């Protein structure tokens, strides 16, 4: 009986996802764009059980025990760049992607232009929507965060970061686009490196910022569709000169 109930639940989930996908396709009607439904994750970073949360992850056996980073360590090692957890993991930049996929179960998508469909925008802050985006031979981390920078007034912050060095990041331009009901909002910038940390980018306000009212104007039935495109900076500069 339990098996049949679970099967029925899975089928309902699939129908719901398919419906969300159809809605996003309708909003971003450009042919060939990949739509990715991204479910929210309540940020456990500031929760008291953060160590327990990290230790119940798939990598439980591999992770070192939860403790503060040592003062002296290999300068080539970078801390975990996942903005969701205070994860004690450290590793080389080249293995950050596999750590994020395996430990934090963050999806990775291919394609120059994709649509990020964040569901359940009404959930209380702090909440994150995260995917990785593989494009132009590099991997990018897209983070949409709902956060109360000012108490009682949640805002949405969206940014794209290169899983690479700041020098590598300077070679790219990313664009985030919201488009609904004859309103269009576009943000274009150079991605920051994950080494600079998502928290700093958001506290600096150097990203796409939406008030709750504006997010509601762009969202459809609780979901927000964000069109994403990445180009190399040379193309961007050539366009600016035209």
Binding site for its own copies (CB under 8 A): 150, 152-153, 155, 173, 182-190, 204-206, 208-214, 217, 233, 236
Q: How far is the CB of 204 from its own copies (least distance, A)?
A: 6
Of 59 and 206, the one with the shorter C-beta distance to its own copies is 206
Shortest Cβ distance from residue 65 to its own copies (Å)? 38
User: How far is 120 from 38, CA to CA, in rounded Å?
Assistant: 10
- Identify which of 172, 168, 29 has the alpha carbon closest to the alpha carbon of residue 96: 168
Instruction: Give the H or E element holding residue 130.
Output: strand 127-135
- If the CB atoms of residues 49 and 237 are measured against its own copies, the closer one turns out to be 237
CB of 190 to its own copies, least distance (A): 5
Cβ within 8 Å of residue 167, ≥6 positions away? none
Q: Which two tokens stand for residue 214?
A: 């504006």
Residue 155 CB, shortest distance to its own copies, in Å, is: 8
**86, 80 Cβ separation under 8 angstroms:** no
Alpha carbons 172 and 176: distance in angstroms, whole number: 13
- Smallest separation (angstroms) from its own copies to the CB of 145: 14
Gap between the Cα atoms of 216 and 230, Å rounded: 26
| 67 contacts 88 by C-beta, under 8 angstroms | yes
Residue with smaller CB distance to its own copies, 100 or 144: 144
- Residue 102: CB minimum distance to its own copies, A: 34
Of residues 31 and 71, the one with the C-beta less far from its own copies = 31
Chain center to CA of 141: 6
Q: Which is nearer to its own copies, 125 or 217 (CB)?
A: 217
Residue 4 CB partners (closer than 8 Å, separation 6+):
none
Cβ-based neighbour number of residue 122 at 10 Å: 13
* Residue with Cβ nearer its own copies (2 or 242): 242
């Amino acid at each position: 009986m339990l098996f049949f109930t679970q099967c029925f639940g899975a089928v309902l989930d699939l129908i719901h996802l398919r419906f969300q996908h159809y809605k996003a396709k309708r909003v971003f009607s450009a042919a060939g764009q990949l739509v990715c439904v991204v479910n929210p994750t309540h940020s456990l970073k500031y929760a008291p059980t953060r160590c327990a949360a990290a230790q119940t992850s798939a990598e439980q056996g591999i992770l070192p025990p939860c403790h503060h980073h040592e003062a002296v360590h290999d300068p080539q090692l970078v801390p975990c760049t996942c903005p969701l957890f205070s994860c004690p993991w450290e590793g080389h930049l080249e293995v950050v992607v596999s750590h994020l996929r395996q430990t934090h179960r963050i999806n990775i998508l291919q394609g120059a232009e994709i649509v990020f469909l964040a569901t359940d925008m009404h959930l209380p802050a702090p909440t994150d929507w995260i995917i990785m985006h593989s494009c132009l031979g590099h991997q990018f981390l897209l983070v949409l965060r709902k956060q109360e920078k000012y108490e009682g007034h949640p805002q949405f912050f969206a940014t794209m970061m290169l899983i690479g060095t700041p020098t590598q990041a300077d070679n790219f331009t990313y664009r985030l686009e919201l488009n609904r009901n004859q309103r269009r909002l576009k943000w274009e910038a150079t991605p920051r490196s994950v080494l600079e940390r998502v928290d700093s980018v958001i506290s600096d306000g150097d990203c796409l910022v939406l008030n709750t009212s504006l997010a509601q104007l762009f969202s459809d039935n609780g979901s927000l569709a964000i069109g994403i495109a990445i180009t190399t900076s040379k193309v961007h500069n050539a366009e600016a000169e035209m």
